[in-house]
Structure 1
């Protein structure tokens, strides 16, 4: 009887450890992600200040370019500038893996809004990193 209880306990512990290991998200090499994400994000935010679509779209994947052609870019920039002003700086917040995508969050400052969340989604294609999604959130943008 004691052997059966011990076996069941060992089996339960092994199952629990296995479940824990398989449910953990893979470790993210934050330094590696920031090495490409920080400069690309900076270029995008500065390009929006400048209204420079060529610079803005340089690191976009095909789906992002389809979703944000130049006329939509110009409308988006006008809306952002009217509500929160120009981009001034950013601080890294966190990074997450979501399937094949790497999602990087920044706390950005704009001339008319002290804290804007910038979410940039990256995808790797043939060894290069491209922006596949871009979102902005702040109280003024939601109003």
Structure 2
């Protein structure tokens, strides 16, 4: 039941984003590099905070909706779910960078002790200051009941 609360919040944010955006396109070369120049440090801060149990660091770059939707309780639930189902975090790599309406979406492949095919989608506002406005984790292991 813990996973349901934060999953519903994040899916709700996703529905809003989908309704507000047009098509999605994959960024390449200099466009991709420009987004990653600020997205990568944000992803590092977010993941370091998550695995250290530090909500303040985790949520440093969240927009207001994300702060409300993913509060400290939901953060603790997310952290517990990831640790219990996936084990220790090992690494990440960028899979793709997308542009969709007023957002950039950086898709990462995360490797954990128990699952090396976890997808993390980090949604960032295009407008400065770039802020995290969506976050999803997905894998077959996480979808198991």
Identify the TM-score tier after normalising by the shorter chain. 0.7 to 0.9
Query: 1:25 and 1:142, CA in 2 relative to 1: closer, same or farther beyond 3 A?
Result: closer
State the partner residue of 1:55: 57
Q: Is the 8 A contact 1:60 1:132 kept in 2?
A: yes
Number of residue-to-residue matches in the alignment: 120
Task: Tell me, in whole angstroms, the C-alpha distance in 2 between the residues paired with 1:62 and 1:24.
Answer: 24
Return the offset for 1:124: 3.5
1:87 aligns with 2:89: yes
1:96 aligns with 2:98: yes
Instruction: Please list the CA deviations of residues 89-119 of structure 1 after superposition, one character each: whole Å capped at 9, or x if unmatched.
Output: 1111101111101111011111221121110
1:31 corresponds to which of 30, 33, 52: 33
Task: Tell me, in whole angstroms, the C-alpha distance in 2 between the residues paired with 1:114 and 1:67.
Answer: 27
Instruction: Name which structure has the greater RCO, CA cutoff 8 Å, separation 6+.
Output: 2
Show the 5 A alignment for 1:128-139: 128-139=129-140
Query: 1:128 and 1:113, CA in 2 relative to 1: closer, same or farther beyond 3 A?
Result: same
Query: 1:41 and 1:26, CA in 2 relative to 1: closer, same or farther beyond 3 A?
Result: closer
Give the match's secondary structure for 2:61.
coil
Task: Tell me, in whole angstroms, the C-alpha distance in 2 between the residues paired with 1:30 and 1:81.
Answer: 31
- Please give the root-mean-square deviation of Cα atoms over the aligned residues, in Å: 1.9
Structure 1: any 5+ residue segments left out of the alignment? 1-22
Q: Is the 8 A contact 2:110 2:118 kept in 1?
A: yes
Give the TM-score of the pair, scaled to structure 2: 0.77
Give the TM-score of the pair, scaled to structure 1: 0.78
